[in-house]
A and B are shown apart, each in its own frame.
Chain A
C-alpha cells in the first residue's frame, strides 16, 4: 500500500503540474484539498479523470468524492478496493 501511495503522489504532482513539489511534501494522512498546496475543487475533478483513465475507477458524485479525497491514503484505499473489485 505504501508503494501505491507513493505512486499516487507522483501522479498527483504530474497531473496538477505542482511545480517544486516532491512526493514527501504531500501529506499521506492529512487533508489533501485546502492545505498549503492550494488545491481546489477543479483539481479534484482533474484527479477524478486521472483515476478513471489510469485505474478504471469512476468517482462520479460529490458525496463519494468528498470522502475519497479526504487524504491520499483514503484515495489509495478507494482505488485499490474498486480496482480489485472489478474483473477479478
Chain B
C-alpha cells in the first residue's frame, strides 16, 4: 500500500499581533514586539508586567470565556479558504475557561450553569458545535507543549486511518492563574522576554489560538501551504517544572521527529525554538541542539514578538512556520541584543528572506513534556509516511481505586453486588510510596501515583522497569485542590501571594509527570481531558501514538471530588455520593495482541439532535458481530445527560437485538469523570474469569462463553471500548 502524506490545507491564528494570518505575518516580517503591560484584568502590582495580550476588542460573546472566543476566531480563519471540512478536532490547551472561573469564584458565584465552560474539554465541544463537526474530539493538556502535541495526535489520526481531515491546534487566554503563577516562580522577565540573550530573566505570558487544517493525501492537493512530515514526543521524567539540565528530553523529541520524518538533522533549514527566555529553558534547548546538530541551521524564537501563549504556543509557532515556508522568510529572534555566549548558538537577530525546505519547531512544557514538529515545503518533499494501524494492547496489569478502597476490595464488593461509590481514604491504601515522595502532593497526584504503582505491581514489573512506551492520563477536571488553593490564596491576599507549588501542581498534566518521574518513563507523556470521556480519549491517544518496539504503556484515568469546586463545575457529581477515584492499566503494544485486550473502538462527539448509534454499530462491525462477540454491555450514562443516554441505549438494543446483560455501571461506581476507567477494570476482571457476577444477570453466576464486554459511553459523546480475550 502506498504511504500517506499530511498536508496543511488551511491555517488560522489569533495572537498578540491581532486577529488573522496577515497581522501575524506583518509582526514576523517587521520584527515588531507585541509585548506591553497587561491590561486584560487589573493586577495588584504596578507597573503591570508585560504580556502578549491580544490588542483591540474581541467580538462580543458574553456567553463563553475568552479562550473559547480566541479558539473559534482562529478555527474560522483556518476553514475560510478551503472547501474541506474537519472530520475530527484535536485541541491543546492549559486553562480552558479559567479566566471566567476566576471572576466567578472571586464574586462568590456558586450556580453551576455559570461555570459550564470551565472545563478544558469544553473548548473543543464549543468548536465542534459552532463548526458542525461530528467525529472524534480530543483535548490534550501537556502544559506548554499542548498545541504541538495536538498536531502530533492529528498526524497519527491521518496516518492510522482514523480521519482524513483534522483541525488541530491550541488555544489559551491570559488568566490570573498563569500570570501570577509564573510570577510566583520568578519566571517573568520585567523587561519582556529576551530569548537567548545574555541578560534574559524569564518569559512573557501571552494568549492566542492557532490551528492547522491537516488533510491526508498521496500527492499535494491544490493550495497546500506546507506538509507536516513528522513529529516526536518525549518526557524528561526529571522535574515537575524545570527542564532536564542537559536537555535530554528535548533532544529525544527532536530526534524522534527526525526519525518519524525519515530525515537527517542536516536536512533541517531552520529551527523555530521553544526559546521562552527563561535561563534554564534556553540553556537546556541550546545543549540539546548542539548535541544533535553537527552544524546547527538558522534558528530563532518568536516569543520576543508574541510572548509565550502556553498551550497555544506550539500551534502558533507551527502556523508561523507554515507562513515562513510558504513565503520564504526566516523570522528574527526579537528581544535578544547580546546573544548569551554560554549557549554556543547564534540566533538570527535580523529577519531575512530565504527558501525553507524544512522547519523543526520545538515546544517543551512543565512536567518535561516535550514535542517537536517538522513542517516542510510540499513541493520539495516526496517521501510519504508509512501507514500504520491503531495500536493493539494486551493487558498485563490493572489497578483501581474506588470509594471502597483498593483493587482487591473493589472487586470483592463488585462480585457481592455492593455499591462502590464514595471517596477512597488514600491514607489507608497500602502503597510503597514514601512520605517524602508524597510531600506536598494533593489528592489527584496521590491517586495517580498509587494507581501507577499498583498497576506496575499487578503486572509483575520491577520498580526499575518503567512503562517505557509512555504514560497516557485522562482526567475530566485536573487537579482541583491545587487550583482551588491557588485561587483562594490569591484572592484572600488581595492578589499579593500565591503558592508556586500549587501553580505547578494545578496544571492538568502534573499528576502524569509525577508518575513519569517516579517510573522513569521517558516516552510520550500525554494528558487528555474531555469531561466524562477523558479515559476514552487517553486510551485513544495511546492507540494513536504507541509503537510496538517502545515497550509497555501505562494508561491511567482519575478524578478527584472537591468540596468547593465539584458542586459548581460538575453538579452531576452530587448525584452519586460525591465519588472519586480511578484506574490504571499496564498495556503491551503488540500486533496482533493476545490474551486480555482493551480495544478503543469508537469515539465521537455527537451534536444535539444527531444520531450517535448507527455510526457506533457500523464501527463495531454490525449487529451480528456485536451479539456474537459480547456477552455484556457496561453502559456509562453520565447523570448530566441521562435522558439522552437512556434513549440511546434503548436505540442500541432495538437496532442490534442484543440479548446480553446491560450494566448501568454509574449506579454502582458513582458519578465522576474517571468512572469509565473503573468500569474497564471491572470488565477486565469479568472477561478474565469468564463469569458474570450473579447481580448483573439476575439469574445466578453466568458464563460469558468466551465472549467479551462492550464498554459504552453515552452522552455528549458516544464511545466504545472492547474488553475481550
Give chain A's interface residues, CB within 8 Å of chain B.
Answer: 16-20, 38, 40-43, 45-46, 48-49, 52-53, 60-62
A62 to B200, CA, bound (A): 12
Contact of B501 among A18, A46, A60, A62 (CB under 8 A): A46
Contacts A45-B186, A46-B499, A53-B497 known; A18 to B439 CB distance under 8 Å? Answer: yes
Main SS class of interface, B: loop
Out of B186, B435, B439, name the residue touching A16 (CB < 8 Å).
B439
Interface CB pairs A-B, < 8 A, 23: A16-B439, A16-B440, A17-B439, A17-B440, A18-B439, A19-B435, A20-B435, A42-B241, A42-B500, A45-B185, A45-B500, A46-B501, A48-B186, A49-B184, A49-B497, A49-B498, A49-B499, A49-B500, A53-B493, A53-B496, A53-B497, A61-B186, A62-B186
Q: Which of B490-529 contact A (CB under 8 A)?
A: 493, 496-501, 504
Question: Of B241, B493, B496, B500, which is within 8 A of A46 by CB?
Answer: B500
Question: Do residues B497 and A42 form an inter-chain contact, with CB atoms below 8 A?
Answer: no
Number of interface residues of B (CB under 8 A): 20
Chain B residues near A43 (CB, 8 Å)? 501
Residues of B431-464 contacting chain A, CB below 8 A = 435-436, 439-440
Min C-beta distance of A32 to chain B, whole Å: 16
Docked Cα-Cα span, A53 to B494, in Å, equals: 12
Contacts of A40 in B (CB 8 A): 239
Please name 14 further chain A to chain B contacts, defined as beta carbons within 8 Å, in addition to the given A19-B439, A42-B501, sorted by A numbering: A16-B439, A17-B440, A19-B435, A42-B241, A45-B185, A45-B186, A46-B499, A49-B497, A49-B498, A49-B500, A52-B497, A60-B186, A62-B186, A62-B279
User: Could you tell me the distance in whole angstroms from the C-beta of B431 to the nearest C-beta in chain A?
Assistant: 15
CB distance from B514 to the nearest CB of A (A): 13
Bound together, the chains give a CA A52 to CA B497 distance in angstroms of 9
Which B residues are CB-close (under 8 A) to A53? 493, 496-497
- 7 closest A-B pairs by beta carbon, nearest first, are A45-B500, A19-B435, A53-B497, A17-B440, A42-B500, A46-B501, A49-B497
Chain B hits for A20, CB < 8 A: 435
Docked Cα-Cα span, A76 to B497, in Å, equals 21
Give the docked Cα–Cα distance between A27 and B504 (Å).
28
Residue of A nearest to B239 (CB): A40
- Does B242 reach chain A (CB closer than 8 Å)? yes
A52 to B44, CA, bound (A): 15
List the A side residues contacting B242 at CB < 8 Å. 41
Q: Which residues B71-122 have CB closer than 8 A to chain A?
A: none
Q: Determine the distance from Cα of A43 to Cα of B241 in the docked complex, in whole angstroms.
A: 12
Chain B residues within 8 Å of A18, by CB: 439
Query: How far apart sit A23 and B498, CA to CA, in the bound complex (Å)?
Result: 25
Which chain A residue shows the least CB distance to B437?
A38
Bound: A46/B501 CA distance, A: 7
Per the bound structure, the CA–CA distance linking A62 and B187 in Å amounts to 10
Tell me which of B184, B186, B242 has the highest count of chain A C-beta atoms within 10 A of its own C-beta.
B186
| B208 in contact (CB, < 8 A) | no
Q: How far is the CA of A48 from the CA of B183 in the complex (A)?
A: 12
Instruction: State whether the Cβ of B240 lies closer than 8 Å to any Cβ in chain A.
Output: yes
Residues of chain B contacted by A42 (CB below 8 angstroms): 185, 240-241, 500-501, 504
Residues in chain B near residue A52, CB distance under 8 A: 497
A78 to B493, CA, bound (A): 24
